[in-house]
């Protein structure tokens, strides 16, 4: 049987440490034997980012805009320790941050559910996809520790010098202050990314804020979502039999617990940070979580939700065996290949992506898994495999289909 042919290259962003090792194994065992893999390769490993003054990250984001689909390996975000470890010229920014800024994207994350690794919330039959707004609010705040009595005001000065001024509080003693913001432009692209992704994945969309308390700030989010929905998406949602549902954040939290799952939950930045950790921990493992960055003009970047698994990499360097879970990285590849297949009308490529995902899940359901899953599975008599053995087991399962 001939290999599957591709038309347009995938933008391939290689990464760091243990995930870089998995990346190579996945390509060799699970992709190259079946696909005439066409990629435009960018090495986002920290060494090469440093060598190119991080230009490679910018180039990879530009290539993603050009081709429309990228697959990314986890990468190191440098900190002080990495400066010495890699002898860096500068503390380069997070590649994910750079790519997200270039694509103006929203990140969608969903647990990969498999028999034997059941969510703690028993009625969650289908994954809940979290869409987190990744700009502004408390993540771009300005804070003051108020030393003592005095008046705090919120002042906006327009370009022409006119002022809007509101009293925040008259302090009679020490306290704290915080200024936060967001922009209509960012909220608009967040909303568009959510509506498009809901249509794309045929799932209902939920959105929740605290607009009863925050009558201008949160209300603005609600209004922008509603306006865009009415104007551009309502008829498309109706045609697809989908629902857009807005409610208060506390009501959403209570309802989510009682649902069967299978929808997208859009959250403001802070809510998304907290709620995605809640959903992923309720589903067992960060290594069982897909993550895709979607830009408002329909560019996709697929990755794993976890990091470079540094602790395992150091063991690997010392020649010790590792049992690192490659499922999320495999699903980053299948997500990207399926999307490429869809855009280029290559049904075999989409079928291959489905088959590889099924083989990955079946391998686990057959009791063959990495250590992180073996620790939490409800299956009995499981075999704990090392990093390489698991990938080979997936290959064997795939060959039985
Ligand atoms: P991490 O790589 O996600 O790993 C944290 C811990 O979670 C691991 O030590 C391991 O626990 C467990 N784990 C995560 N992924 C796993 C997998 N695939 N299989 C098995 N266990 C897994 O986070 P980190 O150690 O905080 O960060 C390491 C580096 O990754 C940092 O330099 C950070 O900048 C980077 N990072 C990158 C991204 C990204 O590119 N998207 C995201 C987050 C972090 P045990 O040690 O208990 O086995
Ligand atoms: Mg968090």
**pLDDT, tens digit, 9 for 90 and up, residues 15-43:** 999 999 999 999 999 999 999 999 999 99
Collapsing DSSP to helix, strand or coil, 155 comes out as strand
Task: Give pTM, 2 decimals.
Answer: 0.90
Whether ligand 1 lies within 6 angstroms of the CB of 309 is answered as yes
Å from CA of 270 to ligand 2 middle: 9
Mean pLDDT of the 295-305 span: 90
Predicted pLDDT of residue 314: 97
Pairing state of beta strands 300-304 and 289-294?
Answer: antiparallel
Predicted pLDDT of residue 393: 98
Closest ligand 1 atom to 324 CA: 19
Q: What confidence category does residue 100 fall into, taking pLDDT thresholds of 50, 70 and 90?
A: confident
Q: How far is CA 284 from the centre of its chain?
A: 17
Closest ligand 1 atom to 303 CA: 41
Predicted pLDDT of residue 149: 98
- Give CA–CA dist 83/125, Å, rounded: 44
In this structure, which residue's CA is closest to atom 31 in ligand 1?
Answer: 76
- Which residues touch 355 (CB under 8 Å, ≥6 apart)? 398, 401
In this structure, which residue's CA is closest to atom 27 in ligand 1?
Answer: 307
Q: In the predicted model, is pLDDT for residue 104 greater than 90?
A: no
Average pLDDT, whole number, for the chain? 95
**pLDDT, tens digit, 9 for 90 and up, residues 306-363:** 999 999 999 999 999 999 999 999 999 999 999 999 999 999 999 999 999 999 999 9
- Give CA–CA dist 164/156, Å, rounded: 5
**pLDDT, tens digit, 9 for 90 and up, residues 370-388:** 999 999 999 999 999 999 9
- Give CA–CA dist 314/318, Å, rounded: 6
Whether ligand 1 lies within 6 angstroms of the CB of 109 is answered as no
Dihedral-angle region of residue 240 (phi above 0 means left; psi in -120 to 50 means alpha; beta otherwise) = alpha
Q: How far is CA 315 from the centre of its chain?
A: 27
In this structure, which residue's CA is closest to atom 16 in ligand 1?
Answer: 287
Q: In the predicted model, is pLDDT for residue 101 greater than 90?
A: no
Helical packing angle, 95-103 and 55-67, nearest 10°? 40
- Give which of 293, 270, 266 is closest to 139, Cα–Cα: 270
Whether ligand 1 lies within 6 angstroms of the CB of 324 is answered as yes
- Give CA–CA dist 382/373, Å, rounded: 10
Choice from 105, 308, 385 to test ligand 1 binding pocket (greatest atom count within 8 A of CB): 308
In this structure, which residue's CA is closest to atom 38 in ligand 1?
Answer: 307
Q: In the predicted model, is pLDDT for residue 266 greater than 70?
A: yes
Q: Are 172 and 150 in contact (CB under 8 A)?
A: no
Closest ligand 1 atom to 371 CA: 20
Whether ligand 1 lies within 6 angstroms of the CB of 360 is answered as no
- Give CA–CA dist 138/122, Å, rounded: 33
Closest ligand to C-alpha of residue 72 is 1
User: What is the token pair recorded at 154?
Assistant: 């919120």
Predicted pLDDT of residue 7: 97
Helical packing angle, 347-365 and 387-400, nearest 10°? 120
In this structure, which residue's CA is closest to atom 8 in ligand 1?
Answer: 309
Q: What percent of the chain has pLDDT above 90?
A: 87
In this structure, which residue's CA is closest to atom 6 in ligand 1?
Answer: 309
- Give which of 228, 175, 239, 173 is closest to 202, Cα–Cα: 239
Predicted pLDDT of residue 175: 98
Å from CA of 274 to ligand 2 middle: 6
Whether ligand 1 lies within 6 angstroms of the CB of 372 is answered as yes
Whether ligand 1 lies within 6 angstroms of the CB of 361 is answered as no
Whether ligand 1 lies within 6 angstroms of the CB of 72 is answered as no
Closest ligand to C-alpha of residue 279 is 2
Å from CA of 18 to ligand 2 middle: 22
- Give CA–CA dist 265/107, Å, rounded: 12
Predicted pLDDT of residue 1: 67
- Give CA–CA dist 117/379, Å, rounded: 8
Q: In the predicted model, is pLDDT for residue 223 greater than 70?
A: yes
In this structure, which residue's CA is closest to atom 32 in ligand 1?
Answer: 76
In this structure, which residue's CA is closest to atom 37 in ligand 1?
Answer: 307
Å from CA of 139 to ligand 2 middle: 12
Mean pLDDT of the 204-212 span: 97
Predicted pLDDT of residue 380: 93
Helical spans, DSSP H, in 202-297: 217-228, 234-240, 249-258, 269-282
Predicted pLDDT of residue 127: 93
- Give CA–CA dist 216/219, Å, rounded: 5
Closest ligand 1 atom to 15 CA: 40
Mean pLDDT of the 215-238 span: 97
Whether ligand 1 lies within 6 angstroms of the CB of 325 is answered as yes
Whether ligand 1 lies within 6 angstroms of the CB of 310 is answered as yes
Collapsing DSSP to helix, strand or coil, 390 comes out as helix
Q: What percent of the chain has pLDDT above 70?
A: 100
- Give which of 141, 78, 98 is closest to 270, Cα–Cα: 141
- Give CA–CA dist 190/132, Å, rounded: 9
């Amino acid at each position: 049987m001939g290999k599957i042919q591709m038309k347009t290259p995938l933008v391939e962003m290689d990464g760091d440490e243990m995930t870089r090792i998995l990346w190579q194994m996945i390509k060799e065992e699970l992709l190259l034997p079946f696909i005439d893999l066409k990629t435009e390769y960018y090495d986002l490993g920290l060494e090469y980012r440093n060598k190119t003054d991080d230009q490679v990250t910018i180039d990879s984001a530009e290539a993603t805009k050009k081709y429309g689909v990228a697959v990314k390996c986890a990468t190191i975000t440098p900190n002080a320790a990495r400066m010495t470890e890699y002898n860096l010229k500068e503390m380069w920014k997070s590649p994910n941050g750079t790519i997200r800024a270039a694509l103006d994207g929203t990140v969608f994350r969903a647990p990969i559910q498999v028999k034997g690794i059941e969510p703690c919330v028993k009625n969650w039959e289908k994954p809940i996809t979290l869409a987190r707004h990744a700009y502004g609010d408390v993540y771009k705040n300005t804070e003051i520790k108020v030393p003592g009595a005095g008046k705090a005001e919120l002042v906006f000065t327009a370009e022409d010098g006119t002022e809007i001024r509101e009293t925040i509080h008259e302090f009679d003693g020490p306290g704290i202050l915080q200024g936060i913001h967001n922009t209509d432009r960012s909220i608009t692209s967040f909303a568009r990314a959510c509506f498009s992704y809901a249509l794309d994945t045929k799932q209902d969309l939920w959105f929740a804020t605290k607009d009863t308390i925050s009558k201008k700030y949160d209300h603005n989010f609600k209004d922008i979502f509603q306006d865009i929905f009415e104007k551009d998406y309502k008829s498309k949602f109706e045609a697809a039999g989908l629902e857009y549902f807005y409610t208060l954040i506390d009501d959403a939290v209570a309802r989510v617990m009682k649902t069967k799952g299978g929808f997208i939950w859009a959250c403001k930045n802070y809510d998304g940070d907290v709620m995605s950790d809640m959903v992923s921990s309720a589903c067992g493992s960060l290594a069982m979580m897909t993550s895709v960055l979607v830009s408002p003009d329909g560019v996709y970047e697929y990755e794993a939700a976890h990091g470079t698994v540094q602790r395992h990499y150091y063991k690997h360097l010392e020649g010790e065996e590792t049992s690192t879970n490659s499922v999320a990285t495999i699903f980053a590849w299948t997500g990207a290949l399926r999307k490429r297949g869809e855009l280029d009308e290559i049904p075999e490529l989409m079928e291959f992506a489905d088959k590889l995902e099924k083989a990955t899940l079946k391998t686990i359901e057959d009791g063959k898994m990495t250590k992180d899953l073996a620790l939490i599975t409800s299956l009995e008599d499981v075999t704990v495999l090392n990093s390489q053995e698991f990938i080979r087991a997936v290959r064997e399962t795939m060959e039985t289909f």
